[in-house]
Structure 1
């Protein structure tokens, strides 16, 4: 066997090795017996050239030395850093005794039958032939790189040895390019699509703009019909009277529609315009109005703002139920006593709250629940419907003022007693300024251990209520002889129930009494009251009042 580079630790090679044949060294043959220039030191196998070019990059495993390799033409190319070295000194890389190859593994070479096998880095290469004299084994799959490293650019003056080009690829490329050009001749450019898109957008804009114009036109027509000059009568009416009820909380449009339905105005829109134009239009209230047919909207608004057009039923503060029943009978055009009988028979079905029922010794279970206000009452209505409306109004006002929550804070048992106190305040007070002081008088006298009355109220108003009268000059002897639960001269504490229908100011006085120590009061002129804390001071005022009366 011919050996090359044989020395200590070197490995044998065979001339028929495909990597060391004629094509491996550019046609030069090796000679047997030639001594290795490395003096037996392990040599490294050079990288396989790619595309006929040899890399001059620094390779690991050479301890910083740069080796020059022959080019693919068979000529010799030497590294200038190693003068005097021959081609044979670099042809065969050495293998150590262990079979370890010292260089970076082969890159994939089309001429290498093992070129597609991956290479393992950094490990020792085993002897795949199992003998010491075996040829250097081919690179195992794990030693190959996945992809070859990019070639460095050729230096100036260097030639890359590439396979001869017979021009077939260029012809094929020109043929393909020609086919592409021929296929593209019949196609429209991309700009045509954009032009079509722009035209479509223009059409959409025109259609949309036309739609907006149409909507604007019809919207204008609707506005003119809705808010323009509305149909309206002329004058103050034709002399034919008509009664119209306006519900509570009704707005201008609803009122105008009711007037139109009754024939008073020609259109609701005209009434709304006239109501907004009148500076007092916001003060228009609910109720029953007596108007004329075919009135102009402006004249209808003006008449409704005048008190002479309103025909509501007015319940004044402090009125007893007997007086309210009489007013309802008159407004409804029914026989006197009709409403009183309905109230006595149906009071449980008129909407009283639970705390206002089942009280003994009551003269009228509805007393105190016909709230002072203005009510739309016209002929044709039923007495029960009118009473139910008044009870609902009272219940809503009591709830808003907090009667149910504040009774116990004032030392009372229930809202029913608080309503009774308010009715006494309403009956005995002569002005709204008196109500808080009058409420304190009631609370102080109700205390059974008070040193002035010892739990007796002794109000004339309670006696007058049970007698259904309004006298002021009553003798103490007469008052104390009449035994009735409502007579506070006879019985201690509050009467069985309210004695009238208190208004908001009297209710507030009962809820927020003064705390000045008042026990007595007297009205010197029938308009205002004077309050005192002791019986002696009270008697002085009584004597003054008697003296003034005797002079008259």
Structure 2
């Protein structure tokens, strides 16, 4: 009886029905007596045939399969370009080259990941400088063309806005609105939803001080709420990086905001923070009065002049530290990283006075006694006399 080839390799019972009687079982067992030599020869022959067939199939189909999985064949890996049909591609903060390659392939910009990765590998310096943002690209681009578009930051759709240190919240809203086109009213409304923007409970619902100064890129789909949420999150990170315990976040930000409002050079930040703490001790000569011009300017919501007027210092505002002891009710602006670090780790010293003797350069002098401070104040007054209208 001839024997089916597949039965020889895989077992002769597979294509047949299962035995139903005892007699059939016995007959089947007799037929299955091992003939090892013949069976081994059949297996070797089968392997040879299968290997040959596989080689032949790969010779014909290999290039096509390789192209599907990102192989090296140019005709299958890459599109011919230049492409058509616009599509927005988002490069996220921290995206690796591999992640960007996947994003481009999934969006139909490049045919395969390899098309982009090969282009990036040829210019690793430029690849490392690709910035996060939204890019308008075409579907069906060549890998090198897609890479060239991404390495040019001018091709980003997102609006870039820089929020400088020390701005008040209303000034921050105005700067954001100017750059993004989102109305100021939307920022004002978003700021009232503490939960939505991630504002910590310590802020007591007041976003002042929590809008971290930095450069941001917001596309036209980023809402006012999402923008403020990003800024608050960076402030929290800065506090954590400075080693500030959560229970001290608001106090630290308040001190940092005063530091930001009083100095113009990094070298003086730690000293100003120490003066604030020394004056808060409650002893002479300050008796707990900070007497900071920056807090008075905040109360009056006026900028542009050094020093304060008699009427401003007589104000009943809780932010008037010439009249009210201790820290003001909260931050008087949005401090940057350097001021937060200074407030968290002030310099060592016994200074209880300081005055910026030359507002044009930011030169500031510190003193531990009233006599020394009076001499420094005279220098400031001389500057005011030499620069009428600026004090």
TM-score bucket of the superposed structures, by smaller chain:
0.7 to 0.9
The answer on 1:297 being equivalent to 2:146 is yes
1:510-521 residue pairs with structure 2 within 5 A?
A: 510-521=343-354
1:81-160 residue pairs with structure 2 within 5 A?
A: none
The answer on 1:320 being equivalent to 2:168 is yes
The answer on 1:383 being equivalent to 2:216 is no
- 1:499 is paired with a residue whose SS is coil
The more displaced of 378-387 and 483-492 is 378-387
Task: Looking at secondary structure, tell me which structure has more helix per residue.
Answer: 2
- 2:279 is paired with a residue whose SS is helix
Match of 2:94 in 1: 249
> 1:211, CA displacement in angstroms?
8.5
Match of 2:132 in 1: 286
Match of 1:69 in 2: none
The answer on 1:530 being equivalent to 2:351 is no
- 1:327 is paired with a residue whose SS is helix
Aligned partners of 1:520 and 1:531 also within 8 Å: yes
Gaps of 5+ in 1: 1-191, 359-364, 408-413
Aligned partners of 1:245 and 1:376 also within 8 Å: no
> 1:497, CA displacement in angstroms?
0.7
Gaps of 5+ in 2: 1-33
- Taking the aligned partners of 1:298 and 1:308, their CA distance within structure 2 comes to 13
Q: Which protein, 1 or 2, shows the higher relative CO under an 8 Å CA cutoff with sep ≥ 6?
A: 2
Match of 2:306 in 1: 473
Task: Looking at secondary structure, tell me which structure has more strand per residue.
Answer: 2
The more displaced of 219-228 and 348-357 is 219-228
Work out which of the residue numbers 453, 456, 461 in structure 1 matches 2:294.
461
- 2:379 is paired with a residue whose SS is helix
> 1:441, CA displacement in angstroms?
1.2
- Taking the aligned partners of 1:351 and 1:374, their CA distance within structure 2 comes to 20
- Taking the aligned partners of 2:62 and 2:369, their CA distance within structure 1 comes to 78
Instruction: Point out the structure with max Rg over C-alpha.
Output: 1
The answer on 1:503 being equivalent to 2:372 is no
- 1:352 is paired with a residue whose SS is coil
Aligned partners of 1:290 and 1:310 also within 8 Å: no
> 1:309, CA displacement in angstroms?
7.4
The answer on 1:373 being equivalent to 2:221 is no
> 1:549, CA displacement in angstroms?
4.7
> 1:256, CA displacement in angstroms?
4.9
Question: Against the structure 1 CA distance between its residues 548 and 317, is the aligned structure 2 distance closer, same or farther, given a 3 Å change threshold?
Answer: closer
- 1:391 is paired with a residue whose SS is helix
Aligned partners of 2:190 and 2:225 also within 8 Å: yes
User: TM-score, structure 1 length as denominator?
Assistant: 0.53
> 1:429, CA displacement in angstroms?
2.1
The answer on 1:489 being equivalent to 2:318 is no
> 1:465, CA displacement in angstroms?
1.5
> 1:463, CA displacement in angstroms?
1.3
